[in-house]
Amino acid sequence: MKYRNLSIWRNIDKPLLIMYLLLSVIGYFIMYSSTFKGLDIQSDFWTANYGKQLIWIITTLFLGFFILLLDGSFIKNTAYFTYGFVLLLLILVLLMPPIKGARSWFYFSGFSIQPSEFIKLTLSLSIAKLLSDVGSRFQEFRTKLKAFFMIIIPALLIAVQPDPGTMLVFACFIFVLYREGLSGNFLLIGLFTVLIAVVGIFLKASNSVFHLAGNAISGNIFFGLILILGFIFSFLIIRYFVLPRFRKQKIQRLIIITLLGLSISGGINYVYDSVFSERHRTRFQIMFGVKEDRKGAGYNIYQALSAVGSGEGFGKGYLKGTLSNDKYNHVPEQNTDFIFCVLAEEWGFLGSFLFIALYLSTLIRMILIAERQRSKFTRIYGYCVSAILFFHFMINIAMVIGLAPVIGIPLPFFSKGGSAILSFGLMVFILLRLDSERKVVLR
């Protein structure tokens, strides 16, 4: 690619930069409040969590502004190298001693690095490069296969750690592939799979029993019978109301979807009974309202809900929270997975609403930036970043308010964690750099 000597600062997207800086500043002060124990007992600044977090934010800004000086072609041409390097780190981290039951971190004298946070960035760049290279056509099976393996390999390595929350984030790339031409049937099948899985887990968690012709059958078996009846009904509609030249293709799809549904429904029984631990089963029962366990597996969720609710309309004020900081330890992990509780308690419904509005505005801005590109590489990368951030945002808040199981997904720019702060920040700065070349880059 050839570039004219254009001013980076003149072409940088200032609204996105301002929104990122605003989120980072708000996130830091919320994280500081979550670790607040009172001015009289505060520890040394730079050894405390809020001191380390500030170091990571400053490091991110320094590296981010360095990225703004790089050439966009350099970022694109090194995509596979950085992806391979982080993939190697994902393999090496499995040899490290476990921390909190997972082998996810390299630990160095008070600081830790989590490679799984950086693979999301390098995978986004690699997917963008794969689909934008000259001669690459996503409609070809070979290209789809390459993209699939690029996504599934790090996802499986992260599953081995184990870190199921981060592994699930890779599902967001299906929306990127859909934008680039993946058949809508895959999206529908994905949604169908999720729906069947949710219904199956609910039926198992609730120990549902149905009576049919005087016989008691379990909920999942009953659900399987409904799927079979749905198949028969749909087959008859196709057989008598669809033109003959379209019947074979539609019947084949119907068979695949039905077998998929039956496999998931039957597999849920095995996974729920044999793979899920008692703690995981209890969490699903709590999520579906089947069981209460306020002092056990449901402790985090109930404590988080009480903190969120206590904020009411306008909150208690900054540093005035009584449930979501280290001084009282009411909410476990209140500065990582449950940091939204701090914002909700101190700033109430109004503050939470404004935060959500700001976050959604940032995501919308990223999508607008992606759509205005002439460079296919930048467009795909922009969609990758917005999809990753949206998935984190949606699942994290859903966890806090009890709409999703607790799977350990951080809230970008807010949750404590240097690797997450650095990787999310670099995602934004790379997008800003690539977008600044939009007037001269043609592919």
- Mean pLDDT (the chain, rounded): 83
What pLDDT, on the 0 to 100 scale, is given for residue 57? Answer: 93
Closest by alpha carbon to 174, among 159, 164, 193, 187?
A: 187
More confident residue, 93 or 190: 93
Portion of the chain with pLDDT greater than 70, in percent? 90
Residue 430 has pLDDT above 90, yes or no: yes
More confident residue, 300 or 337: 337
Record the pTM. 0.84
What pLDDT, on the 0 to 100 scale, is given for residue 2? Answer: 43
What confidence tens digit (pLDDT) does each residue in 321-362 have?
A: 788 777 677 777 777 888 899 899 999 999 999 999 999 999
Residue 3 has pLDDT above 50, yes or no: no
What confidence tens digit (pLDDT) does each residue in 221-273 have?
A: 778 888 889 888 988 888 888 878 878 888 888 888 888 888 877 777 777 77
d(CA 122, CA 82): 6
Residue 1 has pLDDT above 60, yes or no: no
Query: How remote is the C-alpha of 349 from its chain's centroid?
Result: 24
What pLDDT, on the 0 to 100 scale, is given for residue 156? Answer: 87
Q: Hey, what are 104's tokens?
A: 């996810």
What pLDDT, on the 0 to 100 scale, is given for residue 350? Answer: 93
Portion of the chain with pLDDT greater than 90, in percent? 30
DSSP state of 113: E
What confidence tens digit (pLDDT) does each residue in 88-108 have?
A: 999 998 888 877 777 888 887
- What average pLDDT does range 104-131 have in this prediction? 87
What pLDDT, on the 0 to 100 scale, is given for residue 5? Answer: 44
Q: How far is CA 367 from CA 176, 254, 351, 380, in A?
A: 11, 35, 25, 10
Question: In degrees, to the nearest 5, what angle opens at C-alpha 115 toward C-alphas 112 and 118?
Answer: 115
Residue 10 has pLDDT above 50, yes or no: yes
Unique residue bearing structure tokens 């970022």? 75
